[in-house]
Amino acid sequence: MKTIASRRRPLSPNIQIYRPQLTSVLSIANRITGVVLSAFAVFLVIWLSAAATGPQAFSTVQSVIGSWIGRLLMIGGAFSFFMHLCGGIRHLFWDAGYGFQLRTIYASGWAVVIASLLLTGATWALSIYIAG
């Protein structure tokens, strides 16, 4: 039987060994939000097709969107949009050669998270205010 010390360890960084850092979490989140936005593009096409089909189809899609799960998905879609947008703006600064100091990287990472939450909240507050 092998002891813990004699087990072969991975030679390259492995998710089982290293604690996730903000930079790696935001990188993964950027990819996930991109996939979520692709799915929401399909839902947008369905919604527009229902609107073009007629009032009955549009009413059915609207009732799904208006349900609690539909609203939860819409909030998630809005957050994904803003997270991807803010992450993209952060990457534009990096492409221009700015913000590579470790302190700046973490500050901009937290700024992306906070801005995404605030923009999502503001969008939903405004939509609820407008809808009445």
pLDDT in tens, 25-84: 999 999 999 999 999 999 999 999 999 999 999 999 999 999 999 999 999 999 999 999
pLDDT in tens, 86-95: 999 999 999 9
Q: What is the 3-state secondary structure (H, E, C) of 35-90?
A: HHHHHHHHHHHHHHHHHHHCHHHHHHHHHHHHCHHHHHHHHHHHHHHHHHHHHHHH
> What CATH number matches the domain at 22-131, 1.25.10.10, 3.90.550.10, 1.20.1300.10, 1.10.3720.10?
1.20.1300.10
Asked whether 67 and 112 are in contact (CB, 8 A), the reply is no
